[in-house]
Amino acid sequence: MTIAITSNGTNGQINGTNGHSGSEHQHERIWWKDAVIYQIYPSSYKDSNGDGMGDIPGIISKLDYLKDLGIDCIWLNPHYKSPQVDMGYDISDYQDIHEPYGSLEDCMDLIKGCHDRGIKIVFDLVVNHTSDQHKWFKESRSSKDNAKRDWYIWRKPKGFTEDGKPIPPCNWRAAFGGSVWEWDEATQEFYLHLFAVEQPDLNWELEEVRQAIYKEAILFWLERGVDGFRIDTVNMYSKRLEFESVPVKDESTPWQRADLLWSNGPRLKEFLGEMIEETFTKYNAVSIGEFPNSPDFNEVLPFVSAEAKLLSMVFQFEIANLDHGLAYRHLAKTWKLSEMKKYLEGYQRLVDGTDGWQTTYLENHDQSRSVSRYASDAPEFRVQSAKMLAIYMLTLTGTSFIYMGQEYGAINVPEDYPIEQMLDLETIGFLKEFHRVHGKDNEKMNKLAWDGIRLNSRDNGRFPIQWDDSEHGGFTTGTPWMMANPHYKTVNVASQLNDPKSVLSFYKDMLKFRKKFRDLMVYGSFKLLDMENEQTMVYIKGHKDTQAVIALNFTQEKVPFTLPSDLKGEAKLAVKTIPTSQDDTLEPYEGRVYLVNTE
Ligand code: TEU
């Protein structure tokens, strides 16, 4: 198939690129803007003691690898004491470490090990909810007159059914299925949990709760040298306390999605203002908020504008959700490149001409692997797909986040990976619900579920890192807590380290490239061309009189390519992922960067 790239659908040329879009704001230069942040899921990075579980000493043993890779900061997923119902997002003690990961001392060694190498480190802050095993919740649930009763959100039943069952205050569906309200038999009230039953929501309305959070979960770690936090579900702290039911859209269940109602509540700004002022600001710490259900940049800007002094930056979710089904992410839906471009343009506008900041990510522990989702993990296309996405990751304005494994081109699990090894509570909940509706033995439906799980389940981001081709990918000498992706035999760090053509080497080169041209790549203006083109993504970065043209082919077809007419002759090819390609044709999944006026 050959489709020309056009900006206006008329002549096959990209026009109108004289200069770049809008006004380029003079952003204050701060380390976390320049930084490329590398995310580590501790259970799956590196096991140092053979118990099958990744640990902090294992991470420390890889710090030189990370330094050599060229990243600037680590974001560590929750490592705190936790019953692990939701892989550490259910914390039972903010000041202690999950035992299999190591000790507080190991943790201090990790912070020091990073700092000694000039790497910053941020932890995960999970304070929308705790574990039901946290001492605060145990007290709260112990009786209605306990001093901590109101530290969580308790409500009386709306009434009782004819057969005596309590009716919850509203019909919201929890993120992992079922009602957001859990009945407590002993005290005859419901408590709120937006996520799992074992993750009760804290009551941010109470000042003493907020103060306890600041002291125990935030200041404790800032005092110990962490450089900031990625902040879990940061836009859910303030609840709409009326708890109004939503219209029924899914007839198969009483519990309906209400994500918009539980995000961005009335007191959110006030709570964040107080939290940031009393904790983060004192330590000059970075605050990276997880900010779902907020596609409109006008809605997000007030939270990330430098003047507002709230969050440094946020993660938005529209690109991450592109192929997720509405009721369940696993029942995948098709998507178009033009949709991705539309969202990307919105995200980049947060920085263009404003004092806000933005993030770029394609993967994290809640997502499957980007090569499998946005490009192709077929053996003949895997490497070029991963390199093309690396260009995307490292040429966009804002702070880039690389998820562990992305740097060597990790892909989703294969067809014959055992379904029982998918261990995420969300996947298990989905399967249970799916079987309830379609029966357990419906072959056709089971295939649909498995295909969806393989494509989109969070497990794909959680299997062990593939260090080499030894058993379990060199992750552990024991039995891994989650089976390695058998792919480690061909795709692993060791085989790529000294191969200049590998995905890993390409990431290293691109990280250097991003730093060298940071004015353009990190801080530059952004202009997307040819929004309607469903095959290629082409954008122009600008800074003063310098420019870069980035051209990415998202298909497995060859696509004709022409530089924007006004840049022809001036644009010099700086990066290309397929050395043998011709100027006028982008090879399948090829990526290129051209530079203008940069010498
Ligand atoms: O995620 C919250 C969130 O909004 C999601 O991306 C969520 O994982 C998704 O809706 C499930 O499909 C955060 C954490 O990143 C996630 O790992 C936790 O499970 C969740 O909070 C609860 O703490």
pLDDT value at residue 20: 40
Q: Of 232, 352, 363, 377, which is the active-site residue?
A: 232
**Which among 47, 72, 201, 290 is annotated as catalytic?**
290
- Three-class SS of residue 96? strand
Structural contact between residues 367 and 461, judged by C-beta atoms closer than 8 angstroms? yes
Taking only the tens place, the pLDDT of each residue in 290-342 is 999 998 888 999 999 999 999 999 999 999 999 998 878 999 899 999 999 99
The C-alpha atoms of residue 363 and residue 372 are separated, in whole angstroms, by: 11
Task: Give the pLDDT confidence of 65-124 residue by residue, as tens digits.
Answer: 999 999 999 999 999 999 999 999 999 999 999 999 999 999 999 999 999 999 999 999
Q: How far is the CA of 171 from the centre of ligand 1 (A)?
A: 20
191 burial (CB, 10 Å; 0-12 / 13-18 / 19+) is buried
Q: How far, in Å, CA of 354 to CA of 360, rounded?
A: 17
Beta bridge partners of 256: 172
Between CA 360 and CA 316 the distance in angstroms is 9
In this predicted structure, the answer to whether residue 249 has a pLDDT above a threshold of 80 is: yes
Whole-number Å distance between alpha carbons of 290 and 590: 31
Q: List the structure tokens of 12.
A: 């096959």
Going from the Cα of 330 to the center of ligand 1, the distance in angstroms, rounded, reads 15
Please list the alpha-helical segments (H only) found in 268-424. Answer: 268-278, 297-304, 337-349, 370-374, 382-395
pLDDT tens for 466-501 read 999 999 999 999 999 999 999 999 999 999 999 999
Which residue out of 127, 172, 197, 233 has the highest number of ligand 1 atoms within 8 Å of its CB and is therefore the one to mutate?
Answer: 233
484: left (phi over 0), alpha (psi -120 to 50) or beta: beta
For residue 290, indicate whether it is catalytic. Answer: yes
Q: Ligand 1 centre and the CA of 414: distance in Å?
A: 24
For position 332, what pLDDT does the model report? 87
CB 52 within 8 A of CB 415: no
CA of 23 to the centre of ligand 1 (A): 35
Q: Give pLDDT tens digits for 349-392.
A: 899 889 999 999 999 999 999 999 999 999 999 999 999 999 99
- pLDDT at 3 > cutoff 70: no
Q: Which residues pair with 576 in a beta bridge?
A: 592
Cβ contact 305:355 at 8 Å: yes
Smallest CA-to-CA distance from 419 within 457, 476, 369, 445 is with: 457
So what's the pLDDT on residue 15? Answer: 34
Q: What is the pLDDT of residue 23?
A: 59
Residue 537 · residue 552 · CB < 8 Å: yes
490, burial (CB in 10 Å: exposed 0-12, middle 13-18, buried 19+): exposed
Percentage of the chain lying above the pLDDT 90 cut: 91
pTM: 0.95
**Closest atom, ligand 1, to C-alpha of 329:** 12
Ramachandran angles phi, psi of 144, nearest 5°: -65, -25
Q: Are 464 and 475 in contact (CB under 8 A)?
A: yes
Atom of ligand 1 nearest to the CA of 86: 19
**Cβ-based burial of 223 (10 A; exposed 0-12, middle 13-18, buried ≥19):** exposed
C-alpha to C-alpha distance for 518 and 69, rounded to whole angstroms: 17
117 Cα: distance to centroid of ligand 1 (angstroms): 31
232 is catalytic: yes
Binding pocket residue ranges, ligand 1, CB within 6 Å: 86, 89, 126, 175, 195, 232-233, 290, 292, 329, 365-366, 426
Q: Would you say 284 and 255 are in contact if contact means Cβ atoms under 8 Å apart?
A: no
φ, ψ at 522 (rounded to 5°): -85, -40
Q: pLDDT tens across 117-173, in order?
A: 999 999 999 999 999 999 999 999 999 999 999 999 999 999 999 999 999 999 999
CA distance 233 to 288: 11
Q: What pLDDT sits at residue 589?
A: 98
The residue whose CA has the least distance to atom 3 of ligand 1 is 233
What is the C-alpha separation between 204 and 195, in angstroms, rounded?
A: 16
Q: Which of 129, 131, 314, 366 is the best mutation target for the ligand 1 pocket, counting ligand atoms within 8 Å of the beta carbon and taking the most? A: 366
**Ligand 1 atom nearest to CA at 320:** 6
| Rounded Cα–Cα distance for residues 77 and 473 (Å) | 21
Asked if residue 378 lies in contact with residue 495, where contact means CB atoms within 8 angstroms, the answer is: no
Give distance in angstroms: CA of 233 to centre of ligand 1. Answer: 7
Mean of pLDDT values over 550-570? 95
**Whole-number CA gyration radius for the chain:** 24
Mutational pocket test of ligand 1: of 82, 126, 173, 195, the residue with most ligand atoms within 8 Å of the beta carbon: 195
For residue 1, name the pLDDT band (cuts at 50, 70, 90): very low
Residue 5 has pLDDT above 50, yes or no: no
